[in-house]
Amino acid sequence: MQDIQNGICAAELIGATWKKSQRSNSQGACVEIARLDGATIAMRNSRDPRGTALVYPADAVRALVSAVRTGEFDYLIS
């Protein structure tokens, strides 16, 4: 089993399948995500695919997505 910690080099996440939103722009300033297992999600900057990956519990990512969907963070972009 791989030792995965927050701030790991994304290149070290063996077998991670990185995906970005279909709504991403052509400038490449995107966040990519990968499910590492049933309980862990990693995120990285698409401009630096070998850079740092931030690792979160799936429940935390689920809560973030839910809050974004309900507009809880709209004040950040308006």
Residue, of 27 and 34, whose pLDDT is higher: 34
pLDDT exceeds 60 at position 1: no
Question: Six-digit token pair at 66?
Answer: 């839910």
Please write the tens of the pLDDT for every residue from 28-58.
Answer: 678 999 999 889 999 999 889 899 999 999 9
- Give every strand in the sheet of 19-20, ordered side by side: 8-9, 52-57, 40-45, 31-37, 19-20
- pLDDT recorded at residue 23: 78
pTM of the model: 0.81
pLDDT given for residue 50 in this prediction: 92
Mean pLDDT taken over the chain: 89
User: Concatenated DSSP letters for 22-50?
Assistant: TT--TT---EEEEEEETTEEEEEETT-TT
